Structure 1
Amino acid sequence: MRRDDLTDATCGIAQALGVVGDWWTFLVVREVAGGTTRFDGIQAALGISRRALTERLTHLVEHGVLVRTPYSERPPRHDYLLTAKGEGLLPVLLALQEFGDRHVLGDGAVTATAAASSAEAQRVHDLVGHRVADVGLPAHTGDEVRLRPAEGWRVVYFFPGAFAPGAQAYPAGWGDIPGAAGCTLESTTYATHHDEFVAAGAEVVGVSSQRTDQQAAFAEHAGLPFRLLSDVDLRVGTAMRLPAFRVAGTDRYKRQTLLLDPTGTVRHAQMPITDPAGSVTEMLSAVRELAG
């Protein structure tokens, strides 16, 4: 269906579907957002025919969702990259993922964790061996940090949210959400073992969907010696399909941790994390084994 064929010209939903109106198109955007930007890679990931993929890529370029950037003149080859307009689809992908994880793959309950046998946990562990999205995020210290380390190893722990007393109250019912509690304990345990991680060759960073001012208040309160990164739109999570949940109108990361080598490749993953403090010592052992 062409956009011009839609009779509801004033409805944003109808008009958006004129641009991304079939499931293949959403999956193409998902792959590009995750760093698979070349034709053959997208085709291999999706198993779509070359003709169908060509049609959808051409359509997305024509509508300004993707832009073609040449990387070879002979033969002519291109990378397909998201434009600012294309990045506007990322929250839509996140909403679809949350709906699928919660209502299709899950039982409909709001949870900040997942069973070890769940599709969400499997998705996180499947990241081992893959490079993370090269996304820049603002840190609570005021600088921007690329998710891929510039050098050395990096532990990236994703957490639902932690607040300094008096800075902001936790959402109502926070303690009743399985897996939500424990962010302060996890962060302070990383702080306690920070020098050991550094000695083993790894930097520690935490990522949540909180604002940087909220993170700064918590980091000062907890005495954290490492940076917290703010991903308010869950750009990293959307690109890497990281499990998330929604509560009180805000999307938040489920608790999960990745160990990245100097190339930004995932070498170890933790999900689910049922013991926040114990997961830190387990990750320290993994760092010593893999990075030592």
Structure 2
Amino acid sequence: MRMHNADESCGIAQAALIVGDWWNVLVLREIARGHVRFDALAAELGLSRKVLTERLGRLVVSGVLHRSPYQRRPARYEYLLTEAGVGLLPLLVAMQDWGDRWMLGDGSATATAADDGAEHARMHSLAGTTLPVELELPGSDGIPRDAVARDAAATVLFTYPATGIQWEEPLLAAAGCTLENRLFRDFWPAFREAGAAVHGVSTQLPHEQAAFARAESVPYPLLSDTHLRLAAALRLPTFRGAGQVRLKRSVLVLDRQRTVRHVLFPVGDIPHAVERALRLATALAAGHS
């Protein structure tokens, strides 16, 4: 692409070389979702092999992707995000947030979602999909953890905006997130007895989560999605609160194979959602879907 000389020192123009191409953006979206092999990408995108090969080659040359061999004869590769590629995930999430609000919505800024909206449809379409392997997030205890517990028959993964924050624009009261964590804490013995793990996820920093976990005696891991890896992998709805990107409240129940079996979204009645999550996780862990 020919650029004006002034664009050579413009970060926006340089980034547009990567994300200004429709197919490049969608290829990155699918790789973030865990579709890292050529055939899987072609199937998800409905793209010709020639065009897909060209786009993948460009993204590798640009340093956004790198090829990792998984088969020698014939040679087969997985296309994985580099550090520069991971750095693009917040941009993809921002594009999704803007599209949800201004193209698919009425422009309102909200921490909830309408039952007949695009976010509702996208979240409930997660049922039957698989979370990328070994998607690890920093934990409040300083230990990187897989978003899905490896030693549990079921994992309840609940996302929440933040705890312990005085909102500049109170789209959602922080007290609601504290209540949610307290309820999961109180029901934790029942989840554990059922063989189910509980993971809470927000975009807060690990030390912020650690302070809250200590103050509230939270017995399960709180995971930090500061870099929006989980948000991009599942295309989770987000909003901006107190100047930060926040995850909207949701509850996912996953099986041992990392497959999403149940989706609770939007979450309005928090006590009801926690109790329902316990019922669903207990049934799943017992072998009943």
Fold similarity call, TM over 0.5: yes
Q: Report the equivalent of 1:289.
A: 283
Distance 1:131 1:76 in 2: 25
Task: Tell me the amino acid that sits aligned with residue 146 of structure 1.
Answer: D
Preserved contact between residue 111 and residue 180 of structure 1 (Cα < 8 Å): no
Q: Report the equivalent of 1:240.
A: 234
Q: Report the equivalent of 2:129.
A: 130
After TM superposition, give the deviation of residue 188 of structure 1 in Å: 0.8
CA pair 217-102 structure 1, distance change in 2 beyond 3 A: same
Distance 2:68 2:169 in 1: 47
What is the aligned counterpart of 1:194 among 164, 183, 188? Answer: 188
Q: Report the equivalent of 2:253.
A: 259
- Aligned positions of 1:59-208 closer than 5 A: 59-133=58-132, 134-152=134-152, 153-163=154-164, 169-174=165-170, 177=171, 182-208=176-202
What is the percent sequence identity of the aligned residues?
Answer: 46
The 4+ residue runs of structure 1 with deviation greater than 4 A are: 178-181
Q: After the TM superposition, which of the residue ranges 7-16 and 277-286 deviates more from structure 2?
A: 7-16
Preserved contact between residue 6 and residue 14 of structure 1 (Cα < 8 Å): no
Distance 1:18 1:6 in 2: 13
Q: Report the equivalent of 2:23.
A: 24
CA pair 6-59 structure 1, distance change in 2 beyond 3 A: farther
Q: After the TM superposition, which of the residue ranges 28-37 and 63-72 deviates more from structure 2?
A: 63-72
Which blocks of at least 5 consecutive residues in structure 1 are unaligned? 164-168
Q: After the TM superposition, which of the residue ranges 179-188 and 140-149 deviates more from structure 2?
A: 179-188
With normalisation by structure 2, the TM-score equals 0.93
Task: Tell me the amino acid that sits aligned with residue 282 of structure 1.
Answer: R
Preserved contact between residue 250 and residue 263 of structure 2 (Cα < 8 Å): yes
After TM superposition, give the deviation of residue 249 of structure 1 in Å: 2.0
After TM superposition, give the deviation of residue 19 of structure 1 in Å: 3.0
Task: Tell me the amino acid that sits aligned with residue 125 of structure 1.
Answer: H
Say which SS state the counterpart of residue 252 (structure 1) adopts.
Answer: strand
With normalisation by structure 1, the TM-score equals 0.92
Say which SS state the counterpart of residue 161 (structure 1) adopts.
Answer: coil
Preserved contact between residue 183 and residue 276 of structure 1 (Cα < 8 Å): no
Which blocks of at least 5 consecutive residues in structure 2 are unaligned? none
Distance 2:174 2:123 in 1: 18
What is the aligned counterpart of 1:226 among 220, 223, 226? Answer: 220
Distance 1:270 1:31 in 2: 23
Say which SS state the counterpart of residue 121 (structure 1) adopts.
Answer: helix
Preserved contact between residue 36 and residue 42 of structure 1 (Cα < 8 Å): yes
After TM superposition, give the deviation of residue 248 of structure 1 in Å: 2.7
After TM superposition, give the deviation of residue 16 of structure 1 in Å: 1.6
Task: Tell me the amino acid that sits aligned with residue 289 of structure 1.
Answer: A
Distance 2:114 2:195 in 1: 31
Distance 2:198 2:139 in 1: 13
Over the aligned positions, Cα root-mean-square deviation in angstroms equals 1.6
Equivalenced residue count is 283
Preserved contact between residue 113 and residue 180 of structure 1 (Cα < 8 Å): no
Q: Deviations over 1:12-40 (max 9, x none)?
A: 11112223331110000111111101111
Preserved contact between residue 208 and residue 252 of structure 1 (Cα < 8 Å): yes
Say which SS state the counterpart of residue 156 (structure 1) adopts.
Answer: strand
Preserved contact between residue 111 and residue 179 of structure 1 (Cα < 8 Å): no
Q: Report the equivalent of 2:39.
A: 40
